[in-house]
Amino acid sequence: MASQATCTFEGKTWDESAYDEPDGLPKLARVSATNTYSGGIEGTGTVEYLMMYQDSGTASFVGLERITGRIGERAGSFVVQHTGNYKDQTATVSLTVVQGSGTGELAGLRGSGGFAAHGTQVPR
């Protein structure tokens, strides 16, 4: 059965640390963050990002997030793979549910989606 869930999320925490900052080369950083979800998805998420910052103010990143909660009436957890870029004060992200990651009533969950977050700031 195919269906679509639309939700909003709010970033609750963002803990970032650089792990490679050679002069004249892009900065590499790790981020541990948490999110809360409301709407078609209700719950919380814990995400780990690896990020690369360019001197131009752009960034590229990948991440894995475990979301625990409900989609509609079904409860459980699942992992989402993030792939994204930051440019012109907008983070554009593609999401894919990692196959086999669903638990509880969300076992077998599959799908994809994405979002654009405007006005976000990328540290340098």
Q: What range does the domain containing 110 cover?
A: 7-118
Residue that is written with structure tokens 């990002």 in the block: 49
pLDDT in tens, 2-59: 688 899 999 999 999 999 999 989 999 999 999 999 999 999 999 999 999 998 989 9
Contact predicate 34/43, CB 8 Å: no
- Report the domain count for the chain: 1
- If pLDDT is split at 50, 70 and 90, which confidence band does 120 have? low
Domain CATH for 13: 2.40.350.10
Tokens of 32: 């541990």
The answer to the question of residue 124 being in a domain is: no
pLDDT in tens, 82-104: 999 999 989 999 999 999 999 99
The answer to the question of residue 123 being in a domain is: no
The CA R_g of the chain, rounded to the nearest whole Å, is: 15
Q: Could you tell me the pTM of the whole model?
A: 0.91
pLDDT at 124 over 70: no
The answer to the question of residue 1 being in a domain is: no
Residue that is written with structure tokens 């475990």 in the block: 66
The answer to the question of residue 69 being in a domain is: yes
